[in-house]
Structure 1
Amino acid sequence: MSRSTTRAAARRAARPPIRAALAVAAVTAAVVGLGVAPGGTAFASSAGSVGTAGSAGSAGVPAATRAALDPALVAGTGATVGFTEQEAEKAATDGTVIGPSTAAYTLPAEASGRSAVSLKPGQYVEFTLPSAANAINVRYSIPDAPDGGGITAPLDVTVNGKSRTTMTLTSQYAWLYNQYPFSNDPNAGLLQPDWWITECSCVPDQTTPAPVITTPFRPNHFYDEQRLLLGRTYKAGDKIRLAVPAGSDASATVIDLMDSQLVAPPKVDLIAANVLAFGADPTGRRDSADAIDRAIAFAQRTHLKVYIPPGTYQVNRHIIVDNVTIEGAGSWYTVIKGHQVTLSTPAPDGSIHTGVGFYGKDASVGGSTNVHLSGFAIEGDVRERIDTDQVNGIGGALSNSTIDGLYIQHTKVGMWFDGPMTNLRITNNTIVDQIADGINFHTGVTDSVVSNNFVRNTGDDALAMWSEKTEDANDTFDHNTVQTPVLANGIAIYGGTDNTVSNNLIADPIREGSGIQVGSRFGSEAFTGHLWITGNTTVRAGTYELNWNIGLGAIWFYALEKNINADIEVTGDNFLDNTYDAIMLVTDFPVKDQYSITNVHFKDIKVDGTGTDVVSARTAGSATFQNVVARNVGAVGVNNCGSFNFTAAGSEFSLTDLGGNTGGGTTGPWLAPWELPNTITCDDRPTVVVPPAPSPW
């Protein structure tokens, strides 16, 4: 279950805790406008970040990208997926390019590559297929309704000027507002008036006169995506045009990207318990949950698999799975789709809703084992964040099990596991448009692997190991791709022992988090044993922490509740186009003299572009550096504030140079000899220099 208590408490504590003892300059944040577009719909824009694209065809053939970069720059990292990504801002269009911008609460910041194309009614964006495809997926944003709840709007799809299909876009699953845990109401007042508000530099209910908080306040989670089978295969070079009809109710339709794919024919399994034989309805008109239960029971007795053939199956509750294999025809063909249902009375776990999901039994009764799920989609109906609700795509405890080839959209968390449990393999899944996390290993998940998954547009950590009460141990997150987590981190590790984060690609985190976090927070157990962070690439990470008014590192270590002193090896990672720092080590200011970060080792690291520093140290402790190569560094290489006591003996944080640390920027070598081991070089908010785009080494 997605726990609210510890996370809410942590966010409540996110007042400006890191305050330097020295005077600091005021930071002027990017101005964000949220106006009322024609028709009265709320829509976000960012000042000074709009440019008009060239005429139709001037963009030429848009290159396929990964994380909005040349794939060669991120080779060897992330998931191998069956689709090809193309950015709208590189396609032919008569619309307007918005961005690039990293300002939170704006459409460009939440776009892949921090840029997208805005289309008015009558305008288009046109992609040239880089390879054969029979299916597309469009990531888009359309305005919210004036009072929230979303609207629908058409988008015409034509191939080579004919074969037109009209997609119906929706903003019903987008557009959240306000403070955590957010609201669907753009006109709502502050949800937490006793929390620190950066916009007024105050705690509103303790401030006289009361501050004026403009609504809609902090709009976010703008984007959604929609898939479309084209009905036939088109060849490389064919042109797919996305056009907004002249009569659209959307004052603007923002297209972020298009994924194109050659989808294989549906899988057929004749030797299985076919759910149709047990009364399931592939048209989606009748609820099929009971029929699927009957098929599962029959398959368990006869030692058969359960097969769900092509179709859309309505399921409005949890399907409990144990000792069963359930296969679909493929995630494009077999869709399990449900409504969110309000419970007549709250469940014992605090849930007030239920919805579509496949759940193992609870760990308190032994959990489930030998469960194998593959080849179908789970499409939920979650439009608000209620942390006690069990409305996740996959849940419960699953040991000795596999989850492969699923597509999960519009649930609260794609997959949330409450251990203890062991030996789960999660592979080749796509998880998009979640209100909260993508995948979370919560409490005592051991010897499990998350590999080759694609996660985009989560409302909290995309991938997390959370060792609350019991350690996660011997787990691996490997070769996954994470894009545009709206809140928190791409990958977050909260305590645990002997875990590995390897060869992942993380791009475009938005706010209150960054690419990779190692954190002592949310009531997690201490880090023990080893933590290996190796071969990962972050892109356009190092975000701005609104509550602290400082930039974060693309990878950041955060000691909030305990020391971080396990053996942590950060080896062979690349940090590209960092908005602020590449590496940050930080302790919360109220506990800066209680906790420290030690025994962290950086080796064979490449840093290509920082808005500020290579390393920002805002804690006591130490770290070693070997063969850390940096270029295009915007500020001094090391910003060493220690724990802000500014002692005569120097900073409380020491950097050990093990050799091979080269490169830098306009200020000279990033790790200058005079900075070692603990020279105070503290600039609380250094001037940001936008780095150039990454390039081959």
Structure 2
Amino acid sequence: MSVNARWPALATASAVALGLLAGAGVPASAAAAAPVVTRAGLDPALVAGRGATVDFAEQEAENAAFTGSVIGPDRAAYTLAGEASGRTAVRLAPGQHVEFVLPAAANAITVRYSIPDAPGGGGITAPLAVAVNGKRAATMTLTSQYAYLYNQYPFSNDPAAGLLHPDWWITECGCVPSATTPTPRVDTPFRPMHFYDEQRLLLGRTYRAGDRVRLTASAGAAWTVIDLLDSQLVARPHVELAAANVLLFGADPTGRRDSAAAFDRAIAFARHARLKVYVPPGAYQVNRHIVVDDVTIEGAGSWYTIIKGRQVTLPEPAPDRSVHTGVGFYGRDAAAGGSRNVHLRGFAIEGDVRERIDTDQVNGVGGALSDSTIEGLHIRHTKVGLWFDGPMRNLRVTDTMIVDQVADGLNFHTGVTDSVVRDTFVRNSGDDGLAMWSEKAADARNTFDHNTVQTPTLANGIAIYGGADNIVSDNLVADPIREGSGIHVGSRFGAEPFAGELAIRNNTVVRAGTFELNWRIGLGAIWFYALDRGIDARIEVTGDHYLDSTYNAIMLVSDWGVKDSVAITGVAFRDIRVDGTGTSVVSARVAGSASFANVDARNVGAVGINNCGSFGFKPTGSEFTVTDLGGNDGGGTTGPWLAPWELPNTITCDDRPPVVAPPAPTTW
């Protein structure tokens, strides 16, 4: 991987591993800069009509006035800059500040930040002063207790831990440990990640456009990194009078007492009386699952109604092998008939999950929910925001925010059908942001539409594992970090085969394409992976935009062990825009075929098609065939991206081409 000014190379020194790459700051005497509003760190004009419709304005710290220093840009995993929105943030020493100018009236802010871990793990807390127009408005308490994972999957909270899997391939030492070789030693902390968290704050009054919000770091942390500020005008609390109010059933809005039993009583009464359950403003302690079926639960709004709980260790493992429980709203298990007619809206769920234990059911919403809706929730610090185990059908998730998870943002798992996720915003998931996983039964006729996924620290923004007749449309995906990329189509993890049609259309993917540690190659902004079996369904990718891709824009690949037994065939790409690639437009490392029509590219860093096929290097050409259907224009440093001499299956294989960072994307 080449080194250049825009994308510093992956480094192993501990200071760089923590992302402390300093740049020049704005002088302390400088007036607050004019507000620069972005979407996923981009000019909103570049993503118009795509991604979730949100009610906040995003402002990146590096575009504000500050007295600290810039970290980044950097695409490397295990760095603070690499996990920042836009791959750049601002580092503050104690007493330094970032000052934002409000672009519109606001009475609430969200701050995405990072502070150091405790030396032995477990996190620290530190105050952050918030002033508006020079007057102290509030003090936020920042924490790193929900950040910082280390080591190999499924990760550790201990920065000094030895390898969790000494027998795994360790790319950092280039060895394959075995019984005949010493256990490899690695520097600790090994592979630090998941650095960021975010805090929300109601300001207590409405401030005008042009007012200045200053965030000042304290001596409580050696350094504070500010990534961005979201500002918004939050409406007054929603009131529902004709409902079963949880306060009447003993719920405690101060959070001092556990309110789980009161919620159960309110739900039972509401079902009998055919009423909604209303949860008025407050912070309610709930330390276990609330089982829901045939009920509507409505809060005053996610800024006002907060349902939070501690992670509780079970006296013995549950039948599903969970060793903890915690706050969450769960439908009945699908094997017990599931739940239906459940409607959850207008509240926040805040968990207490600080480690990844895959058998734990400590998700914000779970179980099987058919003929149901989830609207206007805010979910953070759970394992997975929303994890659904089917079979189940007809679920709609809308206008929901999922942040700071240790695993997926949302997963349709096992036979979820006829369901929709729309206008949902996912940031800082610890695994796939949005996923359909057809394990044991096919997910079918589902749609992920107009969602935004930012900075998944592991895996992909949006991933489809098998299934039939699903749609991924009009989404915005930005800044995947490692072992995945922007959009992924994978025949893996025991998923059922792809069947029918998979439509991927009108999505924008920016700053994607991570460095795959095991293969030691770069992935595509969109990538197809045949592992368990080949992929031969009808797949059409139409109208996507791939912007500022770190490596390839489009990748089709198999694993070396199955390269001669699987293929990816008949994928059709049409009306695609590629603005900037570090390497190629298309990288083919599998047998099969794809067609291209009206694919326009510019600022391409290497040969347009890197066609290795199955690495047979036969005289007849590559095992992967490219079909030119016309209208494929543009290119980069090596000429037209789809040159006549590359067709239909000319071998153009450069296993690890040098990276040439493109300029920032601009309007087409």
Shared fold, TM over 0.5: yes
Q: What corresponds to 2:216 in structure 1?
A: 243
Tell me the distance in 2 between the aligned counterparts of 1:211 and 1:290.
Answer: 51
Question: Residues of 2 paired with 1:360 and 1:168: CA distance?
Answer: 34
2:613 to 639, 642, 645: 642
| Structure 1 match to 2:638 | 667
Q: Does 1:489 align with 2:489?
A: no
Q: Is the 8 A contact 1:46 1:103 kept in 2?
A: no
Instruction: Give the CA deviation at 1:59.
Output: 6.5
CA contact (8 A) 1:316 1:338 kept: yes
Contact 2:166 2:184 in 1 (8 A): no
CA contact (8 A) 1:59 1:90 kept: no
Q: Which amino acid aligns with 1:605?
A: I
Match of 1:102 in 2: 75
Could you tell me how far apart the structure 1 residues matched to 2:92 and 2:339 are? 49
Give the drift of 1:678.
0.2
Instruction: Say which SS state the counterpart of residue 137 (structure 1) adopts.
Output: strand
Q: Write out aligned runs for 1:502-513 (5 A).
A: 502-513=473-484
Match of 2:334 in 1: 363
Amino acid at match of 2:290: I
SS in 1 for 2:648: coil
1:97–1:118 Cα contact (<8 Å) kept: yes
Secondary structure of the equivalent of 1:213?
coil
Q: Rate the CA distance shift 1:169–1:647 in 2: closer, same or farther, 3 A.
A: same
Deviation at 1:60, TM superposition (A): 1.9
Indicate which of 215, 224, 228 corresponds to 2:201.
228
Q: What is residue 652 of structure 1 aligned with on the other side?
A: 623
Residues 531 and 559, structure 2, Cα contact 8 Å, conserved in 1: yes
Query: How far apart in 2 are the matches of 1:63 and 1:124?
Result: 17
Match of 1:30 in 2: 10
Summarize deviations over 1:527-585 as a string: whole Å, max 9, x none: 00000000000010011111211000000000011110000000000000000000000
Offset at 1:666? 1.5
Q: Is the counterpart of residue 212 in structure 1 residue 185 in structure 2? A: yes
Alpha carbons of 1:165 and 1:576: their partners in 2 closer, same or farther (altered >3 Å)? same
Aligned partner of 1:256: which letter?
Answer: D
Residue deviations 1:59-94, cap 9 Å, x none? Answer: 721310001011001101000001110000111000
Give the match for residue 19 of structure 1. Answer: none
- AA matched with 1:33: A
Q: Does 1:54 align with 2:22?
A: no
Question: Is contact 1:295-1:306 (8 Å) kept?
Answer: yes
User: What is the CA distance between 1:251 and its match in structure 2?
Assistant: 0.5
**Contact 2:301 2:347 (C-alpha < 8 Å) held by counterparts:** yes
Match of 1:3 in 2: none
Q: Is 1:127 matched up with 2:127?
A: no
Cα distance, 1:52 vs. partner? 1.7
2:585 to 592, 602, 614: 614
Quickly say closer, same or farther: Cα 1:99–1:59, change in 2 above 3 A: farther
> What secondary structure, in the 3-state scheme, does the structure 1 residue paired with 2:662 have?
coil
**Equivalent position of 1:557 in the other structure:** 528
**Sequence identity, in percent?**
74
Select which of 409, 429, 441 maps to 1:458: 429
Distance 1:91 1:206, change over 3 A: farther
For 1:378, the equivalent position in structure 2 comes to 349
Quick check: 1:79 aligned with 2:52?
A: yes
Asked if structure 2 preserves the Cα contact closer than 8 Å seen for 1:513 and 1:545, the reply is yes
Q: 2:311 aligns with which of 340, 346, 371?
A: 340
Deviation at 1:209, TM superposition (A): 4.7
Q: Which amino acid aligns with 1:151?
A: I
C-alpha displacement at 1:206, in angstroms?
A: 4.9
Alpha-carbon separation, structure 1, partners of 2:428 and 2:596: 33
* 1:602-647 Cα shifts (integer Å, max 9, x gaps): 0000000000000000000000000000000000100000000100
Secondary structure of 1:270's match?
Answer: coil
Between the aligned partners of 1:561 and 1:194, the Cα distance in structure 2 is 23
Q: Please state whether the residue corresponding to 2:23 is helix, strand or coil.
A: strand
Once the two structures are superposed, what CA deviation does each residue of 1:281-315 show, in whole Å capped at 9, x if it has no partner?
Answer: 00000000000000000000000000000000000
Deviation at 1:204, TM superposition (A): 3.1
Q: Partner of 1:258: helix, strand, or coil? A: strand
In the aligned structure 1, how far is the partner of 2:355 from the partner of 2:180? 30
Post-superposition Cα deviations, 1:411-437, rounded to whole Å, max 9, x if no partner, equal 000000000000000000000000000
Summarize the Cα distance change of 1:694–1:667 in structure 2 as closer, same or farther, 3 Å threshold: same
Q: Show structure 2 runs of 5+ residues with no match.
A: none
Q: Conserved in 2, the CA contact under 8 Å of 1:532 and 1:568?
A: yes
- Show the counterpart of 1:165: 138
C-alpha distance in 1, partners of 2:202/2:91?
Answer: 24
Structure 1 residues 202-228: Cα deviation after superposition (integer angstroms, max 9, x where no partner)? 123456354331000000000000000
- SS where residue 14 of structure 2 aligns? strand
Note if contact 2:351-2:364 (Cα within 8 Å) is conserved in structure 1. yes
One-letter amino acid matched to 2:187: T
Find the partner of 2:114 among 141, 154, 168: 141
Question: Could you tell me which amino acid in structure 1 is paired with residue 297 of structure 2?
Answer: I
Partner of 1:593: 564
Structure 1 residues 209 and 297: CA distance shift in structure 2, 3 A: closer
Which of 361, 383, 394 is the equivalent residue of 1:423? Answer: 394
Q: Which amino acid aligns with 1:358?
A: F
**Residue 447 of structure 2 is aligned to residue 476 of structure 1:** yes
1:691 equivalent to 2:667? Answer no
Q: Which amino acid aligns with 1:533?
A: I
In the TM superposition, residue 201 of structure 1 has moved relative to its aligned partner by: 1.1
Is this contact kept in 2: 1:543–1:552, CA < 8 A?
Answer: yes
Query: Which blocks of at least 5 consecutive residues in structure 1 are unaligned?
Result: 1-23, 36-42
Q: Is 1:680 aligned to 2:660, yes or no?
A: no
For residues 365 and 210 of structure 1, the distance between their equivalents in structure 2, rounded to whole angstroms, comes to: 46
Kept in 2, the 8 Å contact 1:25–1:685? The answer is no
* In structure 2, distance between residues paired with 1:46 and 1:669: 37
Contact 2:137 2:203 in 1 (8 A): no
Q: Contact between 1:46 and 1:107, CA under 8 Å: does it hold in 2?
A: yes
Aligned with 2:525: secondary structure?
strand
Q: Calculate the TM-score normalised by the size of structure 1.
A: 0.94
Number of residue pairs matched by the alignment: 664
Structure-2 separation of matches of 1:669 and 1:376: 52
CA distance in 2, matches of 1:525, 1:538: 26
Instruction: Report the Cα offset of residue 30 of structure 1.
Output: 1.7
Aligned pairs (5 A) from 1:151-162: 151-162=124-135
**Inter-partner Cα distance in structure 2 for 1:58 and 1:549:** 45
For the Cα contact (< 8 Å) 1:339–1:356, is it kept in 2? yes
When the two chains are superposed, the root-mean-square deviation of aligned CA atoms in Å is 1.5
Contact 2:259 2:284 in 1 (8 A): yes
Map Cα deviations across residues 125-184 of structure 1 (whole Å, 9 max, x no partner).
Answer: 000000000000000000000000000001000000003311110000000000000000
The residue aligned with 1:90 is 63
Q: Judging changes above 3 Å, is the alpha-carbon distance between structure 1 residues 137 and 26 closer, same or farther for their aligned structure 2 residues? A: closer
- For each residue in 1:483-515, what CA deviation from the matched residue of structure 2 results, as whole angstroms up to 9, or x when unmatched? 000000000000000000000000000000000
Q: Within 1, Cα distance between the matches of 2:270 and 2:581?
A: 56
| Matches of 1:669 and 1:644, distance apart in 2 | 24
1:280 partnered with 2:260: no
The reply on whether 1:70 has 2:50 as its aligned counterpart is: no
After superposition, the Cα gap between the structure-2 partners of 1:60 and 1:568, relative to the gap in structure 1 and judged at 3 Å, is: same
Amino acid at match of 1:340: Q
1:32 aligned counterpart, secondary structure? coil
Once the two structures are TM-superposed, the CA of residue 461 in structure 1 deviates from its matched residue by 0.3
